[in-house]
Amino acid sequence: MAGWSCLVTGAGGFLGQRIVRLLVEEKDLQEIRALDKVFRPEVKEEFSKLQSKTKLTLLEGDILDELCLKRACQDISVVIHTASIIDVVGINPRESIMNVNFKGTQLLLEACVQASVTLFIHTSTLEVAGPNSYKEVIQNGHEEDYLENRWPTPYPYSKKLAEKAVLAANGWTLKNGGTLYTCALRPMYIYGDGSPFLFDAVTKALKNNRTLTSNSKFSVANPVYVGNVAWAHILALRALRDPKKAPSIQGQFYYISDDTPHQSYDDLNYMLSREWGFRLDSSLSLPVCLQYWIAFLLETVSFLLSPIYRYQPSRDRHLVTLSNSVFTFSYKKAQRDLGYEPLFSWEEAKQKTVEWIGSLLDQHKETLKSKTQ
């Protein structure tokens, strides 16, 4: 595979950018094709600085455009598929989420067959495993537990179907007579500098006297730093290209976590922002069981209004469950098969994220200053 090439979908996103940054260091990599629907100007500028002996080509196109995918996959050796709509609150229509996350993955797999792409690495999610109930406790779970999300909510459902399609495609015959080999990575909740979720939390808090919204205090999660998730993709790529390691990895999925302390989502947001004067909302939280049934009533209202009005509750039962469950996983299988060890320590990840939050505050001050002038 000397002189190989790699396509990264969703390359302009939070994770995709990190993968591209690491890929430029890979040996014998001749070309990286970065595909996204649109690249923000700052991303284009950053990628322009990455140009090295490895050619970096930016492609703007839709994951549902078959002609675009056909062109993107031509003469490509490896696909890293990170593109998806991440939506746990139902902002996007169900059809859009299902189309991009599931149908887009199917179309990309078919394009790989036609272009005889041999390796396919899929960015899945912890949510394909659950949690299904806030009463269910999973601590340091592993791949052999065979957990499966039962929610019909579009994001986890679409990602579950997409992962199944990818793993089922392992062993497909390619147009040139070769074989397609696949694997999937299931990261925990991804945080870090550039996180859209953290950005939203900080932005809302700035409008509320630096008070962070508290609605996940009963959860226990093991968040993972974005740089370590990107690193896991590189190691999966290397392992699939290694004739000795590849047979044990093909058709497999892997949980990806790191050494970030297990904590609630609320505590993570607070820990990363307290240096800048942020604090958690100290008001009492409703018991989870009451939150759950209120969400059920709101879903019922939404259903009854659906023929005449689209009412989207701010929290449904799935989100209440996701936000308040004890649900953590070990990365031992990835450590064993992929040689995965976190590239960034918890202290390094925290420092980088804290500094980035500080830069958001600087931007906020500049915005306020310009408005008063």
Neighbours of 59 (CB within 10 A): 17
From the list 159, 160, 333, 350, the catalytic residue is: 159
Strand extents, DSSP E, 124-222 = 137-141, 181-187, 190-191, 211-212
Q: What DSSP assignment string belongs to 47-114? A: HHHT-SSSEEEEEE--TT-HHHHHHHHTT-SEEEE------SS--S-HHHHHIIIIIHHHHHHHHHHH
Pairwise CA distance, residues 112 & 24, whole Å = 22
Q: What is the Cβ-side half-sphere exposure of residue 156, based on CA atoms within 13 angstroms?
A: 20
Among residues 40, 37, 154, the alpha carbon closest in space to that of 91 is found at 154
- From residue 188, alpha-carbon distances to 130, 146, 159, 185, 224 in Å are 11, 16, 14, 10, 6
159 is catalytic: yes
Q: Which pairs count as long-range contacts for 290-296, CB under 8 Å and 24+ apart, including other chains?
A: 291/315, 291/320, 291/324, 292/134, 292/317, 292/320, 292/321, 295/319, 295/320
End-to-end CA distance of the chain: 59
For tokens 């990309």, what's the residue? 108
| DSSP 8-state class, residue 359 | H
Query: Exposed, middle or buried, 34 (CB in 10 Å: 0-12/13-18/19+)?
Result: buried
Coil, helix or strand at residue 14:
helix
Tokens matching residue 103: 């149908």
Q: Which residue numbers are catalytic? A: 159
